[in-house]
Amino acid sequence: MRQLDGKNVFLTGASRGMGREIARGLAKEGASIALVARTESNLKELAEELAGLGGRAIAIPTDVKDKEQIKEAVRRARDEFGEIHILINSAGVLDNEPIANHNDEVWEHHYSVNVNSYFYTIREIIPEMLDRRWGRIINVASTSSKVPIGPNRAAYVSSKHAVLGLTKEVAFEAAPFGVTVNAICPGFVLTDMVEDSMRKFARDSGKSPEETRAMWIAKIPMGRFIDPTEVVPLALFLVSDGAGAITMQAINVDGGFCPN
């Protein structure tokens, strides 16, 4: 029997980056997964792939900024799989702008995706976890939830700090009911989002892409970027029965970048 046979997962940010790799890891362990993101074609392609890995998956295209769409996505997941045992929030956005250029749209977009969507999904799903007295919630945060990683990221860094506050408070409320709530804090993980951020940083700073890459790598004691697949083992552990006493934690996967 695989670790997650019989477990149903609601996963946001599933179409790319760390979310996609986490979905693959969950499928290999037998989970049934509601794949939630904006791009339907990417989700359907991933769902077909996961079926070949031994998992079950449904593609639910959703704008996670919209609480009504979140409600509908949760309803569809329950209609397909039944109860939801595991929630993983992995949706995220990152933009580089000096604070003076942070217009309302940039600021609100970061908070809508990076914070509000996490709140919406937790609010919809946690009641059944509390009633069942078993559940696992993972919020994908960032080492930026703990320390600034560079200039021009006020919306991103502050929104990721908010994710840790949400994680800890919900963990405190849920602990008596056997529901764990933790955050994974990736460092410089080589996703499309980070690649885009590097390109913009290079353009705005007048540095070459090669110089920018070398400068970012120099911040990491291991001397390399983190691969998205390296986040998966921690996610699989945190949703397991064996992690039942681990809650309210924010665990780094960062090659030593952030030592706390």
- Catalytic status, residue 156: yes
Beta bridge partners of 97: 153
Please pick, among 111, 118, 120, 156, the residue that the annotation labels catalytic. Answer: 156
Kindly give the residue spans of alpha helices, DSSP state H, lying in the chain: 17-28, 40-52, 67-81, 104-111, 117-132, 154-174, 192-205, 209-217, 232-238
Nearest alpha-carbon partner for 88 in 25, 30, 39: 25
94/182 Cα distance (integer angstroms) = 21
Q: How many CB atoms lie within 10 A of CB 50?
A: 24
Give the residue carrying structure tokens 């996703």.
Answer: 191
209/11 Cα distance (integer angstroms) = 33
Structure tokens at 199: 């390109």
187/189 Cα distance (integer angstroms) = 6
Give the residue carrying structure tokens 């362990």.
Answer: 29
Give the residue carrying structure tokens 């951020």.
Answer: 197
Which distant-in-sequence residues (6+ apart) come within 8 Å of 1 by Cβ?
A: 30
Catalytically active residues are 156
